[in-house]
Homo-oligomer: A and B are copies of this chain.
Amino acid sequence: MSPPRARSRSGGRAGNQRRGGSTAIRQSPWEIVVNSDHPTTPLRPEGVEMIHDAAMRVLEEIGVDFLNEEARSILAEAGCDIAPDGPRVRMGRDFVMEMVARAPSEFDITPRNPERRVTIGGDHMVFVNVSSPPNAMDLDGGRRVGNIEDFRNFMRLTQYFNCIHLAGGYPVEPVDVHASVRHLDCLYDKLTLTDKVCHAYSLGRERVEDVMEMVRIAGGLSHEEFDAAPRMYTNINSSSPLKHDYPMLDGAMRLARRGQPVIVTPFTLSGAMAPVTLAGATVLSVAEGLAAIALLEYMAPGLPVVMGTFTSNVDMKSGAPAFGTPEYVRATQMAGQMARFYGLPLRASNACAANAPDGQAMWESANSLWACVTGGANVVYHGAGWLEGGLIASYEKFVMDCELIQQIAHYLKGVSVEEADLAFEAIREVDSSGHFFGCQHTQDRYESAFYAPFLSDWRNYEAWAEAGGVQTAERANKVWKGILAEYRPPSMDEAVREELAAFVARRKSEGGAPTDF
């Protein structure tokens, strides 16, 4: 852990970041997005039934490996069929569906700042920062292995942008901090540099318990208060095909016992870890996801869970994963249909394969985001900053993605069609020889009529060229520097901050977490 820095001390009311009062950019206010569009449904109802039935047959006839003895013993107690010598678990569809039915279709998570409460599920849509790349990149410094200062900077950007609702996983892995204590430093930074919903990696008992404890302390909560409602979450990935690893299950079960939400996201790359057909990859994804959800709902009836999808395709020539592809869009929409069939919220991602914040990056990301919109995704992971299939956290891409997310959030506000919106009298008034700039109907509405971007340059070519012909990524470079220059951390009670620091210090003195994972 770094010593408390000046900017951390500037907390309290005065240090509270002004909403929308930024001078770096004029951004949209904090708001949970509601997606009222009818989702796109590539599967007919019988297609949904066929995928469901095949997923159930996978769980009943083939089974899934649970590489965690405790999980297996719980599932044995539940009446599942456990192989005598090992990890294979088969479960009947009646059990699975009974467990899945326990999960809420919608729930809230309340972080240390209750104004940052988010609703997950239903027609709500929240966006998460990029999570877990090993590398950071910007136009000045190029690509480098992640470090703690990059980590903090991305946390500042995560806090700054109102369109990013959750401070998810590490936006970049700070490998300059020893793995045994990394979670302590990272969570201290995350909890002091942001006041948004946090996440715990399911990477071993100590890490998970430490993070839960730190979130509890940061929220000023008793243990009972922490347990009483969702305060944070974890995301676990199955090790496709057909395997749930020990630490993921361990972490998920630890959160489940304390009523904290779990997102289950099989990483079913079609053609590699999953069948080459999108239908087959979806079958595998659903089977793996529901297997874990059934375990968690048996342990903790009514636990808030999310069905995650990470089905995309690979380049069949090289095996390289691809994102934001036509297949990715369809797979996300199909996952949305399955999630709604089960009454579960859906997590998807803003993913791309590009290596630079250029045209390809943005068409792939736009495709991914439209996949989330048309698929009805409730949680958009890797919402801002992801490049190179998740191996790079890009400063410029973070800013560019936030511009696009703001646009999509505005799009989802829908269109008003009241009598006055029809503008009949304005059309009569302006008639065929005028324009609408000056009429009262426009004057009454123009300030908020349209979405105002912070990054798009809408000037004509001459004005744009005269101002230097600055392309999008270079403009984004200026934006993130401006944001970091004016960033101020959210307020935190000094006593809470000290308790948090003391906890970190104590846990460090105890050696942190084992690193033999």
Contact of A353 among B42, B366, B458 (CB under 8 A): B458
A275 touches B62 (CB 8 A): no
A279 touches B441 (CB 8 A): no
Chain B: which residue is nearest A62 at the CB level?
B428
User: A482 to nearest B CB, angstroms?
Assistant: 18
Q: Does A58 contact B (CB under 8 A)?
A: yes
User: A511 to nearest B CB, angstroms?
Assistant: 34
Separation of A326 and B316 alpha carbons in the complex (Å): 35
Best-buried of A41, A287, A417 by chain B (most CB within 10 Å): A417
User: A446 to nearest B CB, angstroms?
Assistant: 5
Q: Does A211 contact B (CB under 8 A)?
A: no
Contact of A400 among B57, B359, B426, B464 (CB under 8 A): B359
Q: Does A496 contact B (CB under 8 A)?
A: no
Best-buried of A241, A275, A327, A388 by chain B (most CB within 10 Å): A275
B313 touches A241 (CB 8 A): no
Q: Does A242 contact B (CB under 8 A)?
A: yes
B313 touches A450 (CB 8 A): yes
B388 touches A461 (CB 8 A): yes
Separation of A447 and B353 alpha carbons in the complex (Å): 21
Chain B: which residue is nearest A465 at the CB level?
B355
Q: Does A362 contact B (CB under 8 A)?
A: yes
Contact of A279 among B278, B353, B417 (CB under 8 A): B417
For A297, list chain B residues within 8 Å (CB): none
Chain B: which residue is nearest A451 at the CB level?
B326
Separation of A284 and B422 alpha carbons in the complex (Å): 9
Separation of A451 and B313 alpha carbons in the complex (Å): 9
Segment 265-295 of A: residues with Cβ below 8 Å from B: 270-281, 283-284, 287
Separation of A370 and B375 alpha carbons in the complex (Å): 13
When A and B form their complex, which 4 residue pairs have the shortest distance between CB atoms, in order from nearest?
A280-B423, A366-B366, A275-B423, A359-B472
Chain B: which residue is nearest A356 at the CB level?
B471
Best-buried of A277, A388, A424 by chain B (most CB within 10 Å): A277
Segment 388-438 of A: residues with Cβ below 8 Å from B: 388-389, 391-392, 400, 403-404, 407-408, 410-411, 414-417, 419-424, 426-428, 430-432, 434-437
Task: List 7 extra interface pairs beyond A276-B442, A314-B450, CB under 8 A.
Answer: A37-B40, A42-B414, A47-B415, A47-B417, A50-B419, A276-B445, A277-B421
Q: Does A460 contact B (CB under 8 A)?
A: yes
For A358, list chain B residues within 8 Å (CB): 358-359, 471-473
Contact of A40 among B43, B320, B374 (CB under 8 A): B374
Question: Interface residues of A, CB < 8 Å — how many?
Answer: 127
Separation of A218 and B357 alpha carbons in the complex (Å): 46
B54 touches A424 (CB 8 A): yes
Binding site for B on A (CB under 8 A): 37-38, 40-44, 47, 50-51, 54, 57-58, 61-62, 64-65, 87-88, 135, 143, 241-243, 270-281, 283-284, 287, 313-322, 325-327, 329-330, 334, 353-367, 370, 374, 388-389, 391-392, 400, 403-404, 407-408, 410-411, 414-417, 419-424, 426-428, 430-432, 434-437, 441-442, 445-447, 449-453, 455-461, 464-465, 469, 471-473, 476
Separation of A322 and B273 alpha carbons in the complex (Å): 43
Separation of A270 and B442 alpha carbons in the complex (Å): 10
Separation of A140 and B354 alpha carbons in the complex (Å): 24
What are 24 residue pairs bridging A and B, where the CB atoms are less than 8 Å apart in the complex? A43-B417, A50-B417, A58-B427, A62-B427, A241-B432, A241-B434, A243-B432, A275-B436, A276-B441, A277-B416, A277-B449, A280-B426, A284-B427, A287-B427, A316-B449, A321-B458, A325-B453, A327-B450, A353-B456, A355-B465, A359-B476, A360-B457, A388-B461, A389-B460
Separation of A364 and B403 alpha carbons in the complex (Å): 11
For A62, list chain B residues within 8 Å (CB): 427-428, 431
A329 touches B275 (CB 8 A): no
B441 touches A275 (CB 8 A): yes
Separation of A461 and B456 alpha carbons in the complex (Å): 27
Q: Given A62-B428, A64-B432, A318-B459, decide whether A449 and B415 contact each other with a Cβ distance below 8 A.
A: no
B40 touches A449 (CB 8 A): no
User: A246 to nearest B CB, angstroms?
Assistant: 14
Separation of A447 and B317 alpha carbons in the complex (Å): 9
Contact of A278 among B57, B415, B436 (CB under 8 A): B415
Q: Given A51-B422, A272-B436, A437-B271, decide whether A464 and B355 contact each other with a Cβ distance below 8 A.
A: yes
User: A276 to nearest B CB, angstroms?
Assistant: 4
B408 touches A326 (CB 8 A): yes
B272 touches A437 (CB 8 A): yes
A354 touches B457 (CB 8 A): yes
Separation of A397 and B503 alpha carbons in the complex (Å): 55
